[in-house]
A and B are shown apart, each in its own frame.
Chain A
Amino acid sequence: MTTADIISPALLAACAFPGERLVTPEVVREHNLNQFEYDKILGLLGRAPTLTELGVFSALWSEHCSYKHSKPILRKFPTTGPAVVQGPGENAGVLRLKDGWAVAFKIESHNHPSAVEPYQGAATGVGGILRDVFTMGARPIAMLNSLRFGSLDTARNRYLFAGVVRGVGDYGNCVGIPTLGGEVSFAEGYTGNPLVNAMCVGLLREEQLITARAHGVGNVLLVVGARTGRDGIHGASFASEELSEKSEARRPQVQVGDPFCEKLLLEASLELIHGGYIVAIQDMGAAGLTSSSAEMAARGGVGVQIDTALVPTREPGMTPYEILLSESQERMLVVAEPGRVAEVQAVCARWELGATPIGHVTDDGVFRVAHDGLTVVAIPGQRLVDDAPVYHPEAREAEAAIARRSAAPPARAAASIEGDLRALLDTPTIASKRWVYEQYDSTVQASTALGPGSDAGVAQVPGTSFGIAVTVDCNSRLVALDPYEGGKATVAEAARNIACSGAVPLGITDCLNFGNPEKPEVFFQFREACRGIADACLAFGTPVTGGNVSFYNENPNGAIDPTPTVGMVGLLESLDHRVSSFFRNMGDAIIVLGRTEGVLGGSALWAELDRFVGGAPAPVDLQAERRLQRFLVAAARERLLRSAHDCSEGGLAVALAECAIGGPYAPSGIGATVDLTPHAGALDPQHLLFGEDHGRVVITCSRMQADRVLVLAGEHGVPAVAAGTVGERHGSLVISADRSSWQWPVDELRRIFFDAIPRRLQHVATDAALEA
């Protein structure tokens, strides 16, 4: 029996706030609560809710806060392991590194706000995820992001793209967190519903970990940071409905970020945590004061009593309803022992922040809110959080999706291997994202060992000789065509990227972006993609430590491509082991790892050049992936590798071209001669060069070490073929197979690769003006 069951009705008395509307069926519907849910509320309270209570239920029982459609599926993720310090359920997951260090990390979406107000939507997304990490007691050391837009051929998409990038950059730059990686893709399905997923990675000493559990009856709740305004009211509910023409009217619900205040909040919070001044802390994110206070109380198994009239507001006359549901940014809820309140206030004052007592922890298990002494909310706290409805929607794959897997593209007129590679390097999804990451500070904190543009970013753990590798990945086309294999492929690619840098994959956080889960075909995608992620995580020993579900990503044309973005962290034993992606020295041996069957289903070649998204994607051999990861780490430890680059979109041809093109600030490209005959020479050239089989990596090593590398690969059970030699600067990339040969001057490829996005954005200022 829980405390929730023994709460007497007398403790649940609450009355309407003067002047507020009556709770009618119409008002219930406006709050996105159905009859089943409303009946549940009546049963839980033993009376009709006040309007304020209805707002509280609406927020906490929204998809965004309650995971009501996803919970049963998410429970199937592996969440334990020797490195797990904190699994799902807290503000961020925490994994053990070494020598007492741990890493806190999480990814979160801010899709809907960014669709209507790209700059603030993206900026506040960064702010929210930063707070999730530093409320664990961790200092943020890296940001990553995963972005999706419609085609850059339309002005609206260019405006959204440029606005989001500026918003992400301005916020993270000001707070002083380096962006170490990310991914950006463009596909028709995201028109009208871009995706903005931000990931933050922070470091802490394991003993500094703090959680968001209110405890200690009589302890004081304080609001720290910005004042509460009328912005973002019902943002969590907004995030839980489909985008439509009416969404533009939601623009005022998008919060406005103040990164300077965030920086102060970061420093103050860490000082409060590390100094032992507080017992718990929680970000006021989605559903603001409501969710932060209710969730802290529920986790701690206690009640809370707050008075909204004590909350500092930006304007007079705000109702308890508005104060409870405001999503004004840069606010924290802190729990402190009564005797330490003055110290907490002194620390905050030093950082120019207010810290205002607004209530205390109680022993009756009730989430109670008063305004000037008038009780307007009295809900059994545990049940408010735990009794959120859970749905098991129907899952059924769409007939069209099944048919798409067995379809083939129309025959291509006069395809040329040379032209196809040039065209692929010119597509914004494959081309260099330099235009994006040059707007993000990637070197602040002076710990960046590998920055954006590499397979994984690497940061030094300050004062140590080891590092953290980080990446975000998702190939949504593969997930759309085959959700299960696509889910596996997403984790496999992330782990390959981490291993290419020389690091051991440790664990993931996921941001599951899907359409409306009440549609059987969408829920099928969700369920199967999650099953794929779970299976891959089990096989790799990389638990899921948390994440975020974003449903209802739809626009008037239908659901987005399913996009379960995976953020992964890895441990790089020594910074000296790190490996970058690009060819380095003339004469180095080029070795291709893995097997090529030449599967073009779901390939970039078909999608980008034939405008055909179809065919069956290659299956993922998880055991082969695991062997590949282990080999890469072993070879890096022996310092055998000069470079390692994952083979993904665009296949071997694009991977080899990217190795030859080199990093963004290399003085030139560097040539190479590659003969793929011993690797898979019998395949048709298009399939050989552009097929997207998984589990493949292009590595280089000195010629002297090539035999050792091949032996080590053999010992790990990884297919490895010496396929060529690195050539000279400004040289050519020459690929041959069987009796054919193709050739590209690398500096030309370099120009194409780096110009593709800037060329399409020449008129971005005009696009913005048209929007305004």
Chain B
Amino acid sequence: MVRVAVVRFPGSNCDEDARRGAEQSGAQAYFVWHRDTSLQGADLVVLPGGFSYGDYLRSGAIARFSPIMQAVQAHAAAGGGVVGICNGFQILCEAHLLPGALMRNAGLTFVSKPVDVMVERTDTVFTWAFDRKTPVRLPVAHGEGRFVADAETLARLEGEGQVVLRYLKSSPTTEGNPNGSSNDIAGICNAAGSIVGIMPHPERVVDPRLGSADGLLFMRSLAGVRALSGAAR
């Protein structure tokens, strides 16, 4: 069974959602504390949403210095899978595991709503269960989700196919890009697809009884990650 470590910072608030989502999809998911130094043999690490250390300086800016992040860095350097959702994405950028940065939303207010996004890359640790580019509707809930990067980085992300999720501008109902992100980017990955950060919250829409299961394939990707690492090797 795939072991998924969900990192709990003191201000994480989507940690339980991520753990439950991964577990329901068949993973063995457990929490590791921000003061811990070991990932306890994780195949994959999830940095969940929330406000890690209150986000008083800049989202994710303090979290990157926590003891557990040293273990996450080592895990990532060894090719292990790391997924950051929302605040987790912000931490990945602050920790330079992913390029770019997440800035205050263009509208200057917190935005909580469903958005239509396209899953553009399907060979990453977080999306391999999709068999093709697929549009999905996922909730976003963030105040700092505007992805920015310099022109060269953006060109590289686009050129190398490192855009994992993109807001659908054409969506008449959710009105496209909710935060002013460059190139409508909602999520990116490293070149190998082993480190993924996205702003929307697939872990919140995994139960058809609550109205939508659009996030289910993301969670299944987590649970089956070994298949990918096998393929990549």
Enumerate chain A interface residues (CB-CB to B < 8 A): 166, 169-170, 173-176, 258-261, 263-264, 351-352, 437-449, 460, 465, 575-576, 664-668, 765
Residues on the A chain within 8 Å of B218, using CB: none
- A445: chain B residues at CB < 8 Å are 16-17
Is there a chain A Cβ closer than 8 Å to B176's Cβ? Answer: no
A174/B141 in contact, CB under 8 A: no
**B201 → chain A closest CB, angstroms:** 7
A444 touches B11 (CB 8 A): no
Q: Is the interface of B mostly helix, strand, loop or mixed?
A: loop
**How far, in whole Å, are A532 and B111 apart by their CA atoms in the complex?**
39
Contact A441 B112, CB 8 Å, known A260-B56, A446-B203, A666-B173: yes
> With a CB–CB cut-off of 8 A, which chain B residues contact A170?
110, 143
By a CB distance below 8 angstroms, the chain A residues around B172 are 667-668
* Contact between B13 and A176, CB atoms less than 8 A apart: yes
Q: Which of B89-106 contact A (CB under 8 A)?
A: none
- Residue of chain B at shortest CB distance from A460: B210
Q: B residues near A, CB below 8 A?
A: 10-11, 13-14, 16-17, 20-21, 49-51, 53-56, 108-114, 139, 141, 143, 172-174, 201, 203-207, 209-211
For B21, the chain A residues whose CB sits under 8 A away are 446
Contacts of B141 in A (CB 8 A): 173, 441-444
Given A575-B209, A575-B210, are A443 and B139 also a contact pair (CB < 8 Å)?
yes
Residue of A nearest to B138 (CB): A443
Query: A429 to nearest B CB, angstroms?
Result: 21
Known contacts: A169-B110, A260-B53, A437-B112. The answer to whether A444 contacts B14 by CB under 8 A is yes
Contact indicator B206/A260 (Cβ below 8 Å): no
Closest Cβ neighbor of A176 among chain B residues: B13
Pick from B50, B53, B108, B201: contact of A443, CB under 8 Å: B201
State whether B112 touches A449 (Cβ < 8 A). no
Closest to B8 in A: A267
The residues of B that contact A261 with a CB separation of less than 8 Å are 54
Q: Judge whether B20 and A446 touch: CB under 8 Å.
A: yes
Q: In the complex, A351→B8 CA distance in Å?
A: 11
Distance in angstroms from B62 CB to nearest chain A CB is 11
CB distance from B160 to the nearest CB of A (A): 32
In the complex, A145→B7 CA distance in Å? Answer: 32
Flag if B109 contacts A439 (CB, 8 Å). Answer: yes
Nearest chain B CB to A224 CB, angstrom units:
15
Q: Can you name 27 A-B pairs with beta carbons within 8 Å?
A: A169-B109, A170-B110, A173-B110, A173-B141, A174-B11, A174-B51, A259-B51, A259-B54, A260-B53, A260-B56, A263-B11, A438-B109, A438-B111, A438-B113, A439-B111, A439-B112, A440-B110, A441-B110, A443-B201, A443-B204, A443-B205, A444-B13, A446-B21, A446-B207, A446-B210, A449-B209, A460-B210
CA distance in complex: A765, B53 (Å): 28
Residue of B50, B141, B143, B207 with highest tally of chain A CB at under 10 A? B141
CA distance A576 to B172 in the complex (A): 29
Residues of A within 8 A of B49 (CB): 444
Whether the pair B17, A444 counts as a contact (CB closer than 8 A) is yes
Docked Cα-Cα span, A152 to B195, in Å, equals 47
Across the interface, name the chain B residue whose C-beta is closest to A179. Answer: B112
A176 CA / B112 CA spacing, docked (Å): 12
Q: How far is the CA of A258 from the CA of B56 in the complex (A)?
A: 10
Closest Cβ–Cβ distance, residue A274 to chain B (whole Å): 15
Given the contacts A170-B110, A443-B201, A665-B113, A263 and B51 also touching, CB distance less than 8 Å: yes
Shortest beta-carbon distance from A501 to chain B in Å? 13
Q: When the two chains form their complex, are residues B10 and A260 in contact, meaning their CB atoms are under 8 A apart?
A: yes
Chain B minimum-CB-distance residue to A666: B173
Q: Provide the bound-state CA to CA distance between A447 and B139, in Å.
A: 13
Which residue from A173, A448, A665 sits with its C-beta under 8 Å from B173? A665
How far in angstroms is the closest Cβ of chain A from B231? 30
Quick check: A576 and B56 within 8 Å, CB to CB? Answer: no
Instruction: Please name the 3 residue pairs, one residue from A and one from B, whose CB atoms are nearest each other, closest first.
Output: A176-B13, A260-B54, A441-B141
CB-CB < 8 A to A765: which residues of B?
Answer: 108
User: Are B54 and A438 in contact, with the CB atoms below 8 A?
Assistant: no
Complex CA gap A203/B114 in Å reads 26
Q: Which residues of A contact B174 (CB under 8 A)?
A: 665
Residues of B within 8 A of A575 (CB): 209-210
Q: How far is the CA of A170 from the CA of B207 in the complex (A)?
A: 27
Chain A contacts for B210, CB-based, 8 A: 446-449, 460, 575
Alpha-carbon distance between A449 and B207 when the two chains are bound, in angstroms:
10
**A residues within 8 A CB of B209?**
449, 460, 465, 575-576
Q: Which of A264, A443, A460 contacts B10 (CB 8 A)?
A: A264
Determine if B11 and A260 form an interchain contact, defined as CB atoms under 8 angstroms apart.
yes
Partner of A665, one of B11, B109, B110, B114: B114
- Are B109 and A166 touching (Cβ within 8 A)? yes
The chain A residue sitting closest to B174, CB to CB, is A665
Q: How far is the CA of A765 from the CA of B54 in the complex (A)?
A: 25
Residues of chain B with a CB closer than 8 A to A444's CB: 13-14, 17, 49, 141, 201, 204
Closest chain A residue, CB of each to CB of B34: A352
- The distance from the CB of B180 to the nearest CB of chain A, in whole angstroms, is 15
A310 to B16, CA, bound (A): 37
Are the CB atoms of A446 and B206 closer together than 8 Å?
yes
**B173, chain A: closest CB distance, angstroms:** 5
Chain B neighbourhood of A437, CB < 8 A: 112
Give the distance to chain B from A748, nearest Cβ to Cβ, in Å. Answer: 15
> Which residue of A260, A352, A465 has the most chain B CB atoms within 10 A of its CB atom?
A260
In the complex formed, the residue of B with least CB distance to A574 is B209
Q: Kindly list chain B residues whose C-beta atoms are within 8 Å of the C-beta of A263.
A: 10-11, 13, 51
Given contacts A174-B51, A441-B110, A441-B141, 20 further A-B contacts (CB under 8 A): A166-B109, A170-B110, A173-B110, A173-B143, A174-B11, A175-B13, A259-B54, A261-B54, A263-B13, A437-B112, A439-B111, A440-B110, A444-B141, A445-B16, A446-B204, A446-B210, A448-B204, A449-B209, A575-B210, A668-B172
Partner of A446, one of B17, B108, B110, B173: B17
Q: What CA separation (Å) do A334 and B139 show in the bound complex?
A: 38
Give the residue among A173, A447, A465 with the most B Cβ atoms within 10 A.
Answer: A173
| Distance from B27 Cβ to chain A, minimum over Cβ atoms (Å) | 16
Nearest CB in chain B: distance from A10 CB, A = 48
A166 — nearest CB in chain B belongs to which residue? Answer: B109
Instruction: With both chains docked as a complex, state the minimum distance between the C-beta of B195 and any C-beta of chain A, in angstroms.
Output: 24
Residue of B nearest to A434 (CB): B113
Report the bound CA distance from A575 to B210 in whole Å: 8
Instruction: For residue B68, give the distance in angstroms from its CB to the closest CB of chain A.
Output: 15
The residues of B that contact A665 with a CB separation of less than 8 Å are 113-114, 173-174
Verify B54–A174 contact, CB threshold 8 A: yes
Complex Cα spacing A173 to B86, Å: 13
Chain B residues near A667: list those with CB within 8 A: 172-173
Instruction: Assess whether B110 is in contact with A439, with CB atoms less than 8 Å apart.
Output: yes
Contacts of B14 in A (CB 8 A): 176, 444
Complex: A703 Cα to B207 Cα, angstroms: 29
Please, which residues of chain B bring their CB within 8 A of the CB of A438?
109-113
Within the assembled complex, what's the spacing in Å between the Cα atoms of A765 and B106? 13
Bound state CA distance, A443 and B205, in angstroms?
A: 9
Residues in A with CB closer than 8 Å to B54 are: 174, 258-261
Q: Which residues of B contact A175 (CB under 8 A)?
A: 13
| Inter-chain contacts of B17 with A (CB < 8 A) | 444-446
How many Å from the CB of A446 to the closest CB on chain B?
4
CB-defined contacts of A258 to chain B, threshold 8 Å: 54
How many angstroms from the CA of A173 to the CA of B201 in the assembled complex?
14
Interface centre among A352, A438, A465 (most CB of B within 10 A): A438
